[in-house]
A and B are shown apart, each in its own frame.
Chain A
Amino acid sequence: MDQNTKIEIRDLNVFAGKTQILKNINIDIPKNKITVILGPSGCGKTTLLKCLNRLTDLYPELKVSGKIMIDDNNILAAKEDIYKLRQQMGLLSQRPYPLPMTIYNNISYALKLRGIRNRRETHKLVMHYLQQANLWDEIRTRLREPASRLSIGQQQRLCLARGLAVNPEIILADEPTSALDPISSQFIEETFVKLKHDYTIVLVTHVLRQAKRIADNVVFMYLGDVIEQGSVEEVFGNPKMEKTKLYLGGTFN
């Protein structure tokens, strides 16, 4: 495996009954870069993301085959500690789903699952992760309030902080800004750009401009196929495939 590759996906197939959701996916996701998975709705982006942290296990109707190597460890074959494995990845979903707890406990719960129980350390880390997610200054006086009282944009950043609190190496983000206003979206994007020095980021989106703004690498998917992948300059500047050109030109149908 290449030194700079963090995730290597080989021959990944996902079936739901007789329909094939993902068809022979082969992707290399580089370390400490933002890889954007781009494509229209229903092309299998979310399913791909769910394969990466084995949330596909929740859906018994999905049949997953192939290999996903993270640091030379095939996570699809992993039998025992799926929970540990999921902690390698922080997840950010389309809409924020704060846990039914206080703001503080949303983060400290993640820390507890990681094995941190010391109160002073917990306190320090909660502050650290909220700062990392660009949220601390807004909510420092409201830590004991229920997380559901935050605005949607704040909730999404709280979810990001929570995802970071499990100390992952990878951040998986599934259209994380689709429910947010432009300013909150910008916050999230800026945070991603800052975070990529320490994390490998996989971002699913259908917003072209967002991809252009923050992506290092782009994977274009359509109906369960990877059509094209490469650096952002290659894919956006000089797309090789007809479908990619059409999608980027906005005349896709």
Chain B
Amino acid sequence: MYLLNRKQRHAVNYTWMIISLLLVAFLPFLLFVGLYIKSVLLIHDYSLVDLIFSKTWKPASGQFGFYPFIVGSIWVTLIAMLITAPICLLTAIYVTQYTKKYILRIMHPAIDILAGLPSVVYGLWGILVIVPFISRYLGPWLDIKTMGYSILAASFVLSIMIIPFVLNILIEIFRAIPMELKEAALSLGATQWQTIKHVLVKKALPGIIAAFGFGLARAFGETMAVLMVVGNVVRLPKSVFDPGYTLPALIANNYGEMLSIPKYDAALMFAALLLLAVSLFFNLVMHFFIVRFNKY
């Protein structure tokens, strides 16, 4: 019947599994090595501290300071998370603990549609809605001069973009908590809010952190929507109403152009390396917290 006998088939399947595993395990490592080799030209000529903390970005005269991009990326990401995290957490708690079940059934397709929209659509929406809102209303109202294309606009757009992802995970996490745990807390005389605050959120904490970490990683790497509204000005932003520049936008805007400038190619690769390193760092911190809170 078969070309191979049972033992041989086992060996073949087993080998493939090992190969797939190794591939997945080594992929990040290979990426890292690849980017390092491509950017080694830059790293050898400048000190790492100079590259990361220097503020001057003049490729034509050989000055590569990544600080404005790093700061821009971190600002945009963190403000986006500050907006997203409470909205998602409260929404997830509300739809899983307070509302009737059919609300969740209605919400799920809506969330999925939001999650499936291409990022360029979010970027357009940012240009058409958020940017004018900031330049015409929010800025004047706070007596701040801004052209709208700013860190804040990027944060707004990003936060809306990652809400569906984070929210979907959070809803699943809260739904996975057994009803009996809730009943146990209520039977002790806890109110619904006490049950949520002291028991459910605590139980879900590792998952909540993982969801936020996932959102953070997505936000940090998001390219298109951000570069459409962030302003793309290489300058250290002094407030959230200033325009900025992010690492992914730097790569996307410039790769393939101006490659005649010496080391420009290597500099962009170094930006990618930085992105990878920061993502790795976020991941490690996230894992630390997950392990820390996962003992219950």
Contacts and interface: CB of A to CB of B under 8 A. Distances in A.
A83 B180 contact: no
Contacts of A109: 188, 198
Given A87-B188, A109-B188, A99 B199 contact: yes
B7 interface: no
Query: Chain B contact residues: over half helix, strand or loop, or mixed?
Result: helix
Interface residues of A, number: 30
Interface in B169-210: 178-191, 194, 198-199, 202-203
A90 B187 contact: yes
Nearest to A60: B100
Contacts of A83: 186, 189-191
A97 B200 CA distance: 12
B10 interface: no
B6 interface: no
A100 interface: yes
A159 interface: yes
Contact of A87 (B183, B189, B295): B189
B296 A86 contact: no
Contacts of A99: 181, 184-185, 198-199, 202
Given A97-B181, A109-B198, A84 B296 contact: no
A188 to B, nearest CB: 16
Pick from B184, B187, B295 the residue with the most CB of A within 10 Å.
B187
B182 A58 contact: yes
A163 B188 CA distance: 7
Contact of A86 (B188, B198, B202, B203): B188
A100 B194 contact: no
A70 to B, nearest CB: 15
Contacts of A159: 184
B199 A100 contact: yes
A114 B189 CA distance: 8
B114 to A, nearest CB: 28
B187 A113 contact: no
A162 B186 CA distance: 12
Interface in A155-198: 159, 162-163, 165-166
A21 to B, nearest CB: 17
A171 to B, nearest CB: 11
A110 B188 contact: yes
A132 interface: no
A205 to B, nearest CB: 17
B59 to A, nearest CB: 53
A53 B190 CA distance: 13
Given A58-B182, A58-B183, A60-B100, A101 B189 contact: no
A60 B188 CA distance: 21
A99 B178 CA distance: 12
Contacts of B180: 93-95, 97
Contact of A91 (B178, B179, B187, B194): B187
Contact of A162 (B179, B183, B188, B194): B188
A159 B100 CA distance: 29
A148 interface: yes
Interface in A67-109: 83-84, 86-87, 89-91, 93-95, 97, 99-101, 109
Closest 8 CB pairs of A and B: A100-B296, A91-B187, A87-B189, A100-B203, A97-B184, A100-B202, A97-B181, A113-B189
12 contacts: A53-B187, A55-B183, A55-B186, A83-B189, A91-B183, A97-B180, A99-B184, A99-B198, A101-B296, A113-B190, A159-B184, A163-B188
